[in-house]
Structure 1
């Protein structure tokens, strides 16, 4: 695993006016910083900065000669503060309801500034990371050449907020909070069709296969995730809100200079596909350089972790190295020499 690096941020002002010192951790993969085009990846709820390599959660997309090629790009991924990936108990966050996704975006912005990054080829985020991506793009409309939002949206809807509320109650009231919350979450990360196709009422000893599978996922997360981290990450989902109204969103998003790529999933039960299509239809008249693609899958929200062939086909044109302009390539080659 690539070395986990740290940026100390003192007295960061949260949206609610409180201040908090933050230890922002990150990993860099591929080419050295400032020697190649940069790809910023924003991870999902139980994800982390380890996007590729040993235990990399996105090895099928990021790596040597993969779609996001570590031979051609610098890949940067910050950990959402409090996700516990640094294994330091003192960096966990108990006052999780004080934080918003926009706070996380601003913390990442400080990280980029500290690393002297003023231009990014692509920012890409999945699920919760997609919400962070929207906030970053609106806050920094000229920073990114490409903005890729996968299985997410610019605003949490009532369905998502309701599920976050149920998860929060499980996490605060269950005797097995992580296991039970994770099992519940898996039912809306997938679909009924996906479950029925996978398990077909199969029984193993005295349990249905679906029950064993849910228990496995609950126990696996319990062994690698802190309760406070789960509470924070879950809470952040409902704070995704680039704008209060669609009109305000259109006004903000239309000012983004980079190409926006929306990638939705037709069966997503967490971030509904219809919302992304509505966003595309509403924003297109104001912003020509926006596109939308849809992954077709029975697997629901988790399809972005399953349907790699479809996802890679969608991402390929964005990460074709030949698409970089000559001026950018010359700059990176000079920096590397």
Structure 2
């Protein structure tokens, strides 16, 4: 069930005050106050429905799953303006005023309003992982495990460049959501993945290549369930990602995070490239003991974090089993 928190007089990073921002969320698993809290941040076209009917992370979250709803309370917020509440009044038009830091602050306001002062884990993939990094910097003592997946603590020039292309398509195309999705899908996969899947096959009835049909269908599906203002906002947020902005260098900022940091990269990710994650891990090892690095091996690129569940489960199970074992001891 979709719940809502009213956030009043919220000041954005740029100094603008928003009189009202609705923050919707969903809870899964154990009741609040009765179990460790896991915060799940959704990706660009995702939402708070992470488990149960139509849950987009059902392979990881549920009864007996890696993040076991029998042992944890899972909370997933919707990024304000993502349109999941189907309320047109809550859509955001001035999207360039918002940053990932603003979203992370809003999420903390939501947690505090629910009397949550500490969480066992914050986990997210892609955009959700970037928000997780920022949440950990904003409240460095309130997260036990930070798990950013297929993401980065910063927007590289490559990410910024692709955000610009997406923004141009979204603001200038006659069919903006569908056309932007065509470009995005090729960032989320790899040539090897595409070539292996379609093998230059054609659909004789439609007189098109199957890869063309696949891309066009992805565009249509997203257009049917996603709002243009939401896409513009989520895309823009990706370029605002930088935990060092107005703070200091990466090592100094990241070293303040008390959480165990579990970086999960994808070896073929063409969007948030694994090389950047490896560099960060090697640098952080010099100042921080509780830092861990895992790499998904896949031909599927960025989207592997939504495909290679067996590998992801292998990386995550020790983190969440540790808490489950502690629960048994304290029972």
Range class of TM-score, shorter chain:
over 0.9
Aligned to 1:234: 235
Take 2:231 and 2:13, find their aligned partners in 1: how far apart are those partners? Answer: 21
Matches within 5 A, 1:162-173: 162-173=161-172
Aligned to 1:185: 184
C-alpha change, 1:27 and 1:278, in structure 2 (3 Å) is: same
1:249-285: per-residue Cα shift (whole Å, max 9, x none)?
Answer: 2111111111100000000011010000000011111
Residue 158 of structure 1 and its aligned partner are, at CA, apart by 0.4
Name which of structure 1's ranges 252-261 and 127-136 shifts more when overlaid on structure 2: 252-261
Aligned to 1:108: 107
Take 2:185 and 2:63, find their aligned partners in 1: how far apart are those partners? Answer: 31
Aligned to 1:95: 94
Take 2:93 and 2:266, find their aligned partners in 1: how far apart are those partners? Answer: 33
Aligned to 2:146: 147
Aligned to 1:281: 282
CA RMSD of aligned residues (A): 1.5
- Is 1:262–2:263 an aligned residue pair? yes
Take 1:53 and 1:285, find their aligned partners in 2: how far apart are those partners? Answer: 41
Aligned to 2:64: 65
Aligned partners of 1:72 and 1:321 also within 8 Å: no
Aligned to 2:251: 250
Aligned partners of 2:150 and 2:302 also within 8 Å: yes
Name which of structure 1's ranges 123-132 and 313-322 shifts more when overlaid on structure 2: 313-322
TM-score by length of 1: 0.95
Aligned partners of 1:5 and 1:25 also within 8 Å: yes
C-alpha change, 1:110 and 1:245, in structure 2 (3 Å) is: closer
Take 1:76 and 1:245, find their aligned partners in 2: how far apart are those partners? Answer: 30
Structure 2 segments unaligned to the other structure (5+ residues): none
Take 2:326 and 2:219, find their aligned partners in 1: how far apart are those partners? Answer: 47
Aligned to 1:300: 301
Residue 84 of structure 1 and its aligned partner are, at CA, apart by 0.2
Give the paired residue count: 328
Take 1:190 and 1:73, find their aligned partners in 2: how far apart are those partners? Answer: 32
Take 1:313 and 1:123, find their aligned partners in 2: how far apart are those partners? Answer: 18
Helix, strand or coil at the partner of 1:46: coil
1:54-106: per-residue Cα shift (whole Å, max 9, x none)?
Answer: 11110101111110011111000000000000000000000000000000000
After the TM superposition, list the runs of 4 or more consecutive aligned residues in structure 1 that deviate by more than 3 angstroms.
244-247, 321-326
Helix, strand or coil at the partner of 1:58: coil
1:218-249: per-residue Cα shift (whole Å, max 9, x none)?
Answer: 00000100000000000000000101499612
Structure 1 segments unaligned to the other structure (5+ residues): none
TM-score by length of 2: 0.97
Aligned partners of 2:71 and 2:324 also within 8 Å: no
- Is 1:315–2:316 an aligned residue pair? yes
Aligned to 1:127: 126
Matches within 5 A, 1:203-218: 203-205=202-204, 206-218=207-219
